[in-house]
Structure 1
Amino acid sequence: MSDHYPVAQNQMQYPQTAQNPVPTCSLSALANMAIAGAVIGGSAAAAKNLRRVQQEEIQSREALIDTGKTALSSAVATAAATAAATTVAGVVSHAVADRSCCAWQ
């Protein structure tokens, strides 16, 4: 850091790439996000399908199958998006923390 912007020791820390690899989600975190996605997607599908059953557009069995498919696809999509976002965030944080490219060194 330059003398123009004094910073107390240990106030700003820039991780080394070799010591701090790109963060990844644990399996339990991905599972939790998948459950959240399933609950949200499944709830929306259940509400839609309940209305359709009440209006006699579809049978109960069709509504149940559609709700299950939607909940499963929402779970997979949410887990995949979580893993991708975590990886991108880690790569960006390492790129920002790599001070070799910065003019203030």
Structure 2
Amino acid sequence: VNVSVSPGNIALDVRIGTGISEAEEFISVQAYPNPTSDIISVELTNNISANFKYNVLDASGRGFSLDYAVENNRIILNTQKLSSAVYFLFIEDNNQNYKSVFVKQ
């Protein structure tokens, strides 16, 4: 966090890490159904390895660990324990970085 203060102004520069290696480029993928109430699926363009990593973050940068399954190049996340909000999903797999945004109802 960088803070700069001048008369009548306070500026904050907040950068939140995702826990995934920083990458210059993310591939956007669709999460569906969106909005969701219980599960969200993301289909990747390549075969999903056993070593993939994911992060689900809320707007404040707080991370969540969710139960998941992998089926036919899809990652299926159980979102039942999430509160209603907008979430950001980051996936790293096979040197590719993916991102998506979804709404939990």
Normalised-by-shorter TM-score class: under 0.3
Q: TM-score, normalised by structure 2?
A: 0.17
| Pair member with larger Rg | 1
Q: TM-score, normalised by structure 1?
A: 0.17
More relative contact order in 1 or in 2 (CA 8 Å, sep 6+)? 1
